[in-house]
Structure 1
Amino acid sequence: MYKTLDLARASAFLLTLTLATALAIGGAVDRAEAQQSGPEVEAQSWAVADAGSGRVLASEKPDEQIKMASTAKVMTALVALESDADLDEQVVISQGAEEYVGNTYSNIGLISGESVEARDLLAASLIPSGTDADYALAEYVGGGSVEQFVQQMNQKAEELGLENTNFTNPTGIDEENNYSTASDLLKITSAAMEYDLFRKLVGQTQATIETKGMEDREIQVYTTNELLAQYPPATGVKTGTSGSAGYMLISSAEAQEESYIAAVLGADSQEAVTTSSENVLNYAFGNFEQRPLVKEGQVYSEKEIPFRGRSIDLTAADTISSTVEEGAEVERRVRGGELPPSAKKGDEVGQLEAIVDGESVGTTALIASKGYDEASFWQKTTGRVTGWVGGLFG
């Protein structure tokens, strides 16, 4: 565990208050004041990433495997959102789902035989971390088989290239082979954040879940994510608590055109994981910035028109922006060989890749700034002869 002194905690709190207040009102943040050698974190591991690309910006033990607790429900949500399941359909609650009401503290009290809209099950899984709702959703999306749904979770993990994640259940309950890492959980979250419904639900502090049965009910549920109430830039995401791994939180925050997601895993208490998450997000806001690395319409290459003896400028089709640290090494790499025999203005004639500290952060087309016709037979012949003579005597 990374422990902090009382003085360090006080300093971190003041920094959090300063940043949060400035970000909340849209004011400028003094980045020099916010910069630190690293955030104060009381947890087993952590990582923070750019929300848009999912690229990890800073971390401590980001690939250390740990039981993931209810942060697993982010993957449950992702699989459900990517499936063909109708979220407007009423789902009948099974006895298996109801059993979680008596066996876990994190439930909303669903009763076997009543029905709940699948969309409400998703909300109950993400907002109050309802394990009974999460299990019922997995049953529904898995065609009645939770085991089938877990297979889908592991297939999705493989698609995302997660090498240190394995699911044995959809709820995150401690089991021997149910584990993930800070960096893997950020990749899962980055994929889930592409869905508007996911972003909406994880940002809610409360919701009403409606059930239909012998007696229709309305269940008021409240978020387990305390960061949403005490950190103004916060926008989500998901808590988790495990008897063997401790407290964990995947969090997100957005301000001043910057957005980050963070994972803090294995803290000793709810207070520690919440404060540590604030510190990690503050560190990101203080040490990184969103910046255009490639600008639409700007010239990034010049190439010779075949057999013409003149060149045209190649411009970027789109802007590539990324979150970068001060002093980061930025490279712009042109892809593609010679120009085609002819082209119109605006035709794609190459690719431009932006690279930060050796890692690709985006690619855009290079387009012709002017059009040109294919060279005539005489121009091609003259060009070949000129090239041959130049090669012979050059």
Structure 2
Amino acid sequence: MTLQPSWTWAQNVDDVLLILALVVAIPRLWRANGLYVLVVAFYSALMVVALIRSSVSAAITLELFRASMIPAVLLLIGLVLSAREFRNAALTWLAMSTFNALYMLAEMFGFRMIDPVRFYSAIGSQTHIYEAYHGMPGAYLYWSDDGSVALRAGGIVMNPPIAGTMVAIGAVIAFHLVKRVSVKFLLVGINLLALWASQGRGGAVIVAIGLVLPIIVRKVGVPLAFGLLLPFGIVAYGRFSSAGDSVSHVEGFVHGVSVSLTKLFGDGFGTAGNAVKLTLRNEESSESLVGIVLVAGGTMSLVVVLALVIALLRRVRRGSDAWAQYLGLAALISAFFSESSGALAGAAFMWLALGAALGTPIARVPSDGRARSDSLRP
């Protein structure tokens, strides 16, 4: 359930469900977009090579391999989902995220059905318990630049960043799928309040791209929307890269890019990722899911990441109004600076959305300038 370097029964259940979903999806691959099936196959081969070349223990290697492969497997499943299956999955996720959001809000008033300290102790986590700060695990604390510490909500997944990702996706789904305005804004509001309670920066990125960006695109068009958001993105990156413990996330991404620009097949697993940092006390190892992938697979993995980003931007530029493409883009961008973006418990649906967006044809734009698309439309 978390990206800690330990294997729990709950995590194994997650993995079994993911494998079963993949088994069901495999017979449908013949009708999927063959290009992206090949991309996933090529990427998977790169990660297997990285696994073989790993410089750390088997347990840490498998944790890093798992984190890097979860998005690929979910993308593959998303490629073959029907519009009805995608919608049902979205509504199921919304129900779970709203329950999680309500639990997170209750946490802020001191109500917890499960003691986080006992949970982290039970799974053998390396996370430090801070007795001076409510006796909470380090993951539940947010350190500001001025040295103050804020308590975060971890939700039913017992991990604030992952819980924040989960409710951020829920807010995006509620905004795009719920028809009744009062219910829509109630669900969006509950999930956004829970995101605030988690202090999840990755979740904020997901909301900006998956919810705010499509609103602006509909109002002013794609070129102007990106032109307006670019300055805000630059400012946000500047603040993020210098804010408290956010620095390690940026460093992880930058390190990954640096390795991918100099090494064709990277270094394999073992020098990037939170599992390495927590278990080996390697302070030079930083947190970024894409950073792990770029270090592991080098230039070849960078090509895969860029190809997916460009493919999604093409769909946005063509004017398709399928909201899955925005959530898929949010998955990729948030993964630049967050490992939580690869957590099954908190991020699975947005990687399904990435596959669903890539698995549908780019909308044709008729002469009146209005895009039409049958697939995955709310």
Task: Point out which structure has higher relative CO (alpha carbons under 8 A, 6+ apart).
Answer: 2
The structure having more radius of gyration, on CA atoms, is 1
- Taking structure 1 as the reference length, what is the TM-score of the superposition? 0.30
Between Structure 1 and Structure 2, the one with more helix by share is: 2
